[in-house]
Structure 1
Amino acid sequence: LQRQQKLQAKFGNSVGVLLSRVSQFSIFLQASATNVAGGQAVFGGTNAGASPNNNVQFPQQVSLFYAGEVTPHIGSFLHLTYSGGGSGSGGGGFSFDDSSIVWTHPWKLGTNNLLVTGVDVNNTPTAMDLWNTTPDWQAPFFTSDYSSMGHVPQPFIVNSAGAAYPVAGLGAYAADIFGPNKANWLYADADVYTNAQGIQANPVGGFANFNGGPNGRLSGAAPYVRLAYQHDWGNWNWEVGAYGMWSSVYDSPNTKTGPIDQLNDYDLDTQLQWLNINDNNNLTVRAAWVNEQQRFGAGNNSSSLSSGNLNLFNLNATYWYHDRYALQGGYRNVWGSANPGLYNNPNTNFTYSANGSPDTSNEWIEASYLPWWNTRFSLRYVVYNKFRGVGAPSSSTSGYGASSYNTLELLAWIAY
């Protein structure tokens, strides 16, 4: 990247203000139209203000960004979003989306060795990551609020993507870029998260969770650790990494007392990428497996078990042709311990779960067109093999089957 021109104000011999001549503010609009094969009734009913099917959100959300250098060595990525809400969600409002403030410093350790270290404050686990394999940045990158994908049980750390939980984290990171042509990257990040209040739609309540999981607030601190390695050769690069997060969560929403659930999340992920910069073509293949070990507090009001597990495997690929046309697709599989109290809870929007099973698998395909680099239109279709334990339709599921949750989405975003 070219060094940006600066505006500065001096006070004597010192510089008091140093600002970029290029605006660091941006605005982003998303819109969607959604059709679910069985209509919104498959989620236990139609939300107030929503149609039984074919729901249009315009806009679905509007985001404001401030990103870039604030002072020498200090930068920020601030993301404020207005969302109108959707299926399984409450009313709309402004909230801070995934955001961070970072202090960083480069250290030249030799001809072929650059070490970058930093300290950060952020509000989303995995927000500081560099790859599209972690929950905050994984594909599919944008879904409708009325999509079936938002109703699938997921591990705690995956649910936290997009600043979904009212938490704040303080951490440190280091990236060592070394070897001939600086072709090797070694990245480490460690953060500690705790409850926080701020600008959000539900600043004092529990975790807004509509896919069958513990939904209280954190009890104490939740540590997060990330390690990853990337090697570059020619037009190719390959990453392999792992992370872990250990969270104690109050079982009941809107409280900091009572039974506590322990949710320990572990990940293995990898990404293979081909970049043809001269011809603006690229291919990226990503895979991630998250395993959550669960221990539920005695006397809790949701789980039928004292312990269990939940797994998510996400395999996806993206191909861009001349930065104008894209084809994406993937396979997602969720499986874990059957838990009727947790995954068939009458307090959620879900009625149908075979034996309280979280097991869900789907394939999805998406085609995108960019008439301009800041405008994107996409069409996605999601096919379910199993949905919350439901396969073929039966009388016990009121005639619904996995195919009842198949979803067609028309998506659009414009950024400026």
Structure 2
Amino acid sequence: MSLIPCSQNVFFRQLFTRQRESARRLKYSLAALTGLIGCLAWAPNAQAVPAFARQTGQDCIACHVGGFGPQLTPFGRAFKLDGYTLSDGKKHIPLSAMLVASYTHQAQSYGNDNYMGSPPAGFSANDNFTALQQASIFLAGRITDHVGMLGQATYSDPGSQNLAWDNTELRYAHSYTLGSASGLFGMSLNNNPTLSDVWNTTPAWQYSYMAPPFGNSGPPVSPVIYNLGQSVVGATAYTMIDNSWYAEAGAYHNLSTYWANALHAGNASLQGEAPYWRLWYSKTVGPHVFEAGLLGFDARINTSGLPGLPTDDYHDIGLDATYQFLNGGPNIITANAIYMHERQNLNQALLQGNASNGSNTLNSANLNVAYWRDNTYGATLGLFQTTGSSDAAVYGNGYSSRTNSPNTNGAIFEIDWNPFGKSWVNPEKNLRIGLQYTLYNKYLGAKTNFDGAGTNARDMNTLYLYLWTAI
């Protein structure tokens, strides 16, 4: 739960744009959503991946800022790095579930005569209530003293209408000593580059943590590392020294056609292995936590699937930083930032007429600052920006950009209420109600008339109200 040039465009639109069709829909008014919120506030106990809370005997705020995932505390990061193996010594059923209901309002309604196009089958042109935007089941917990896992399968609406493979990781970890230094060695088998990371800056975990099923949230174009989740499988090895220095390296590969179909995961069209690496350093000074890091990813993609053609090559490198103020008191402040730079060698796209340039660049930046009071009331401001090379075939033909540009920037404002998750008296209770507004200042290269048909950047603005609960 969950974020492009034109051979890219053809590839990613086939692979990552969710089908907006469904056979059955539950449609209610905003008043009905309010009623549902009232009911679920009294519903049986829920929390983010409650299987981990049951296993450790800790309340939700031990691992999560705001008492609800995915933003991790130092204890939560240590739990993940140690392979999800910390336990209270008792036997527990390692199962959890998550539900998301939502209401979405777009500044521009869906319509055959505008940029948004037709609405998903069974839904209205605007003001859509989705009673089951997302439903997930989790298999999560300790397997042995050194092995644990987090497995997720998700049904989405509007979406594929299938229970599909979602973020999944099997992890091994073991501590060691080297002279006077203490260390941790681990391995991760997972299906999403950066899923193994413990900071909320990287593509798999960065803000916004929940996004509307309609309209827009964030930039329409992003580096390739953002777009491979669940369609690949990879293995990485990592080590952390003195709880400060961290290094990780590994590689990712396509799922086989059989497993891609069986898991409803799609095919990433990777040619061979795609290497991934990660470095970071963290320091805790009193209540202040600091992190700075680098990451890199390289992918060769054969969109056509035809032998003998050159590949489109993508080289991603990123710089990230985190700050957290956690003093055990009522006030919590977090800040997360990442900048990604991508070099694209569009050999196949140029050959097939899907790109005007043989090489392009794409840059993305994401910054967010959050304040939490008593791990209950939260406010977040997120800023995003994408810049890159102009390309008529990629962005003009592929995205209807009048300026042939991917350049987009805007902001996300969000307020949240998390009533539960702060006491082990109710160990399985968790709920988040969030109100989010996405505002665009520039979209695909222009503030006004970005598509040449009169659509302005502000027409992409989206209001999103969601209820997120777990059991």
Match of 1:412 in 2: 467
Q: CA deviation at 1:200?
A: 7.6
2:217 counterpart SS class:
helix
Q: List runs of 5+ in structure 2 lacking aligned partners.
A: 1-83, 422-429
Match of 2:405 in 1: 357
Q: CA deviation at 1:284?
A: 0.6
CA contact (8 A) 1:104 1:118 kept: yes
For residue 341 of structure 2, the aligned residue among 279, 291, 294 is 291
Q: CA deviation at 1:99?
A: 0.9
For residue 272 of structure 2, the aligned residue among 200, 212, 220 is 220
Distance 1:307 1:118 in 2: 37
Distance 2:127 2:260 in 1: 26
Cα distance change, pair 56–131 in 1 and its aligned pair in 2 (3 A): same
Q: CA deviation at 1:355?
A: 2.4
For residue 418 of structure 2, the aligned residue among 370, 375, 388 is 370
1:382 counterpart SS class:
strand
Cα distance change, pair 393–26 in 1 and its aligned pair in 2 (3 A): same
Deviation by residue 1:88-138 (Cα, 9 ceiling, x = unmatched): xxx321122111111111114467x42110122111000010100100010
Q: Does 1:75 align with 2:141?
A: no
Match of 1:169 in 2: 234
Cα distance change, pair 25–379 in 1 and its aligned pair in 2 (3 A): same
Q: List runs of 5+ in structure 1 lacking aligned partners.
A: 8-20, 178-183, 209-215
CA contact (8 A) 1:250 1:257 kept: no
Distance 1:333 1:398 in 2: 23
Which structure is richer in relative contact order (CA contacts within 8 A, separation 6 or more)? 2
Distance 1:28 1:199 in 2: 28
**Structure 1 or 2: larger strand share?**
1
Match of 1:123 in 2: 191
Match of 2:87 in 1: 4
Q: CA deviation at 1:259?
A: 4.1
Q: CA deviation at 1:260?
A: 1.4
For residue 438 of structure 2, the aligned residue among 382, 392, 398 is 382
**Which residue type is aligned with residue 166 of structure 1?**
S
Q: Does 1:392 align with 2:448?
A: yes
Cα distance change, pair 141–55 in 1 and its aligned pair in 2 (3 A): same
**Structure 1 or 2: larger helix share?**
2
Q: CA deviation at 1:3?
A: 5.7
> TM-score under structure 2 normalisation?
0.74
Q: CA RMSD in A?
A: 2.5
Q: CA deviation at 1:143?
A: 0.2
Please list, as runs of the form range in 1=range in 2, the aligned pairs for 1:21-60 lying within 5 A after superposition: 21-41=91-111, 42-60=115-133
1:189 counterpart SS class:
strand
Distance 1:206 1:307 in 2: 29
For residue 363 of structure 2, the aligned residue among 300, 311, 318 is 311
2:418 counterpart SS class:
strand
Distance 1:156 1:405 in 2: 23
CA contact (8 A) 2:148 2:170 kept: yes
2:324 counterpart SS class:
strand
Percent identical across equivalent pairs? 32
Q: Does 1:403 align with 2:462?
A: no
Cα distance change, pair 25–204 in 1 and its aligned pair in 2 (3 A): closer
Cα distance change, pair 323–5 in 1 and its aligned pair in 2 (3 A): closer
For residue 324 of structure 1, the aligned residue among 368, 376, 400 is 376
Aligned positions, number: 375
Q: CA deviation at 1:84?
A: 2.4
For residue 158 of structure 1, the aligned residue among 219, 226, 248 is 226
**Which residue type is aligned with residue 408 of structure 2?**
T
Cα distance change, pair 141–3 in 1 and its aligned pair in 2 (3 A): closer
Q: CA deviation at 1:257?
A: 6.6
Q: CA deviation at 1:352?
A: 3.4
